Amino acid sequence: MMKKTIQNLCLGVILLFLYAPILVLAVYSFTDSTMIGSIRHFSLENYKVLFTTPELREMITGTLILALVVSALSSVLGTLGAIGAFYSKRSRKRAIHLMNQIPVVNADVVTGFSVCILMIVFLQLPKDTYLPLVIGLTSLCTPFVYLSVIPKLKQMDPQTYEAALDLGCTSQRALRKVIIPQILPGIVSGFMMSVTLTLDDYFISTYTKPAVFDTISTYVVNATKGAQTQIKTALWALSTLIFICVVLAVTYINLSAKSEDAR
């Protein structure tokens, strides 16, 4: 009994550390206060600013579109790469695996800076294109798609593909109808990971983005430097909204996993 209490206390303290800042900020995002700690009145002004300031709206939609484009690209590339590598000879498989590990373990600063050096400094691509940004983020995300697809390929029964071919299926069709459905959970989780990686990224974006474009991360970092109070408190609202979205997504995933268990 005593042991259980200590356990719960220990978990509780760490949860408090992790969530207190986010929750306090969430409470203050619904007030007209500009400082944590001062007592003010209820207000939805921050949310109004968040949704009506063109600069903020462009930044949010831009980041979301970027995340979707990068994740789609990474999913296709990573899935094809994983299938290709899985059915290749050992030496080639190993080579792909090694190259794939580099962006995973490398510091984001170095990944971003090196893509910037190649594309903007060495190849001198025009500064206003989104190509370096998309390429940089794709090179960060694709390895994670690859890593989540490979285990699914290992779990798959290799004979289903052979059986499909023996029954007269073309290889392309067998790929579409036999392999892809079986590894789909891996692709989906790779896609989700790419979305969160892109939304969280600061370093690759900051080194490769066009000057006129801001992601949530680069915008927040700039906003904390040039302290415009209205923008600062509107970002509290953004933080709260993202938190709510994450909570909803996690709840949904848990509930669907639960109903799957029940079946």
Partner 1 sequence: MKKFYLKRSTLGIPYILFLSLFVIAPLIIICYYAFTNGAGQFTLQNLTAFFTSGDAIGTLIYSLLVAVVTTIVCLLIAYPVAFILAKGGYKRGNVLLMLFIMPMWINFTLRITALKEILTLLEGNLAFHPFLNTILGMTYDFLPFMILPLYNTLVKIDSSYTEAASDLGAKTSHVFFKVILPLSIPGIVSGVTMVFLPAMTNYVVLDMMYNSTYIMGSLIGSYFNAYDWNNGSLISLILLILMLIISWITGEFTDSDETTGGAYE
Which 128-167 residues touch partner 1, going by CB under 8 A?
Answer: 135-136, 138-139, 142, 144, 146-148, 151, 154
Given the rule CB under 8 A, which of 40-48, 50-58, 64-72, 220-228 is the region that contacts partner 1? Answer: 220-228
Distance from C-alpha of 1 to C-alpha of 16, rounded to nearest angstrom: 22
Burial (0-12, 13-18, 19+ Cβ within 10 Å), 128 = exposed
Given the rule CB under 8 A, which of 40-48, 49-57, 64-72, 87-95 is the region that contacts partner 1? Answer: 87-95
3-state secondary structure of 42: strand
Q: Which listed residue (2, 5, 17, 159) binds partner 1 by CB under 8 A?
A: 17
Least distance CB 4 / partner 1 (angstroms): 8
C-alpha 258: how far from chain center: 24
Q: Which listed residue (43, 53, 182, 189) binds partner 1 by CB under 8 A?
A: 189
Of 200-219, binders to partner 1 (CB under 8 A) are 200, 202-203, 207, 216-217
Q: How far apart are the first and last CA of the chain?
A: 34
Distance from C-alpha of 14 to C-alpha of 214, rounded to nearest angstrom: 33
Of 33-62, binders to partner 1 (CB under 8 A) are 36-37
Q: Are 70 and 137 in contact (CB under 8 A)?
A: yes
**Adjacent-strand bridge partners of 31:** 42
Closest of 200, 191, 195, 192 to residue 108, by C-alpha: 200
Q: Which listed residue (50, 85, 204, 231) binds partner 1 by CB under 8 A?
A: 85
Least distance CB 44 / partner 1 (angstroms): 19
Task: Fill in the DSSP letter of residue 209.
Answer: S
Binding mask 221-240 for partner 1 (x = CB under 8 A): x--xx---------xx-xx-
Phi, psi of 60 (to 5 degrees): -70, -50
Q: Which is nearer to partner 1, 52 or 101 (CB)?
A: 101
* Token pair listed for 240: 């709260």
Of 104-123, binders to partner 1 (CB under 8 A) are 104-110, 113-118, 121-122
Closest of 140, 144, 145, 143 to residue 208, by C-alpha: 140
Q: Which listed residue (49, 68, 77, 169) binds partner 1 by CB under 8 A?
A: 77
Least distance CB 171 / partner 1 (angstroms): 4
Least distance CB 247 / partner 1 (angstroms): 7
* Token pair listed for 39: 């007592």
Least distance CB 195 / partner 1 (angstroms): 9
Given the rule CB under 8 A, which of 2-10, 39-47, 48-56, 64-72 is the region that contacts partner 1? Answer: 2-10
Find where tokens 């029954």 sit.
167
* Token pair listed for 34: 């500009």
Question: Going along 79-160, which residue ranges are E strands?
Answer: none
Residue 68 sits in the site that holds partner 1 (CB under 8 A): no
